[in-house]
């Protein structure tokens, strides 16, 4: 972590800004048939987009700290926050962003920039790296599960109301440098579109 801090540029904090922040709702789901993630973006200009995908088995398996571990929900809740950054980089660069997350453990890991679980910590550090390189200013807020509009996309579903409201379904973007570093291959990625 010290090496990361030493290579980072100083954070520039300007005067108060009047523009509204971007809102990003994220969610992860761990079911018997696999792990999936989703996200919804609301931009102040009215742009509304969502993504959803099944997490490749190799990625989900790498999050396990023990062979007999069944759940990786902590990582499944942090991962869509990272994928949202990659997917909507053009909207989030240099912007204030409020991430709405329904898992308190994941939210607190992102707030503290720390997790005692190594797999979660790696994802959190990747989020920090994005924010530093893109001059993005994150804020992490809690959203009750029943109010989280990213729940449907994380379960590979898009509500009709989303499309009626002008929402656009986009494919998730996975950073190729990250995939190479982690030695992952996406293969046949199953997405909402």
Select from 49, 81, 76, 80 the least CA-distant residue to 64. Answer: 76
Strand-pairing partners, residue 34, are 31
> What's the confidence (pLDDT) of residue 188?
62
* Of 141, 98, 112, 152, the residue nearest 1 (C-alpha): 112
- In degrees, rounded to 5, the angle at the alpha carbon of residue 44 between the alpha carbons of residues 38 and 46 is 75
Identify whether the C-beta of residue 154 lies closer than 8 Å to the C-beta of residue 113. Answer: no
Laid out side by side, the sheet with 96-101 consists of: 137-142, 96-101, 22-31, 34-42, 48-54, 168-169
pLDDT value of residue 180: 84
- Asked if residue 160 belongs to a domain, the reply is yes
Tell whether 30 is covered by a domain.
yes
SS3 label, residue 7: helix
Q: What is this structure's pTM?
A: 0.91
**Per the domain annotation, does 7 fall within a domain?**
no
Assigned domain for 149 exists:
yes
pLDDT tens for the chain, residues 1 to 193: 676 667 666 767 777 778 899 999 999 999 988 999 999 999 999 999 999 999 998 899 999 988 888 889 999 999 999 999 999 999 999 999 999 999 999 999 999 999 999 999 999 999 999 999 999 999 999 999 999 999 999 999 998 888 888 999 999 999 888 888 888 777 767 887 7
Name the domain count of the chain: 1
Please tell me the predicted confidence (pLDDT) of residue 16: 76
- Domain membership flag for residue 70: yes
88 close to 45: Cβ distance less than 8 angstroms: no
Give the pLDDT score at 161.
81
Q: Is residue 10 part of a domain?
A: no
For position 4, what pLDDT does the model report?
Answer: 62
CATH number, domain of 74, equals 3.30.420.10
Q: Is residue 157 part of a domain?
A: yes
**Residue 80's domain spans which residues?**
23-182
Q: Is the residue at 192 inside a domain?
A: no
């Amino acid at each position: 972590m010290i090496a990361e801090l030493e290579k980072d540029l100083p954070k520039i904090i300007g005067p108060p800004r009047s523009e509204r922040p971007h809102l990003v709702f994220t969610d992860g789901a761990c079911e018997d048939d696999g792990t999936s993630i989703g996200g919804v973006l609301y931009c102040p200009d009215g742009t509304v987009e969502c993504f959803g995908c099944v997490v490749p088995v190799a990625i989900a398996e790498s999050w396990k700290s023990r062979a007999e571990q069944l759940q990786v929900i902590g990582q499944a809740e942090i991962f869509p926050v990272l994928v949202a950054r990659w997917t909507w980089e053009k909207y989030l660069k240099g912007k204030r962003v409020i991430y709405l997350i329904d898992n308190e453990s994941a939210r607190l890991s992102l707030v503290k920039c720390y997790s005692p679980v190594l797999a979660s910590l790696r994802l959190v550090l990747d989020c920090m790296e994005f924010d530093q390189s893109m001059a993005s200013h994150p804020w992490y807020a809690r959203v009750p599960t029943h109010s989280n509009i990213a729940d449907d996309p994380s379960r590979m579903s898009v509500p009709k109301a989303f499309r009626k409201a002008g929402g656009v379904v986009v494919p998730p973007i996975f950073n190729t440098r990250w995939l190479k570093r982690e030695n992952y291959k996406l293969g046949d990625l199953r997405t909402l579109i």
